[in-house]
Amino acid sequence: MLEVIILFLAIVVITLIGMRSEVTQDHSELEVSEQPTAENTFLSQLQQKVEVTLFPRPSDATLNRHYDALIRAELDSHLSSMPNS
């Protein structure tokens, strides 16, 4: 019985080590870093601020398109009311 437990543990350890090395290899291949610019960060924060004031995003595709158009209109409204810098 002890031999079966030891064998099972050995298989688990070998499997975990193999999975870890695969993850490490995959991670190194997919290393893509996109630095967010200040403009993208500002626009993302402004969009989140607008979305918080609106109703929740609908799940229907047509209503979702209308919701996106509403958010774009609200963003344009906020951006046009800001002074030029």
Binned at pLDDT 50, 70 and 90, residue 26 comes out as very low
Q: What is the pLDDT of residue 30?
A: 53
Question: How far is it, in rounded angstroms, from Cα 51 to Cα 63?
Answer: 15
Structure tokens at 5: 């437990």
Backbone angles phi, psi at 51, to 5 degrees: -65, -30
- Token match 């601020």: residue? 49
Average pLDDT value for residue range 21-27: 48
For the cut 70, the answer to whether the pLDDT of residue 34 exceeds it is: no
Question: How far is it, in rounded angstroms, from Cα 43 to Cα 49?
Answer: 10
CA angle 10, 14, 17 (to 5 degrees): 140
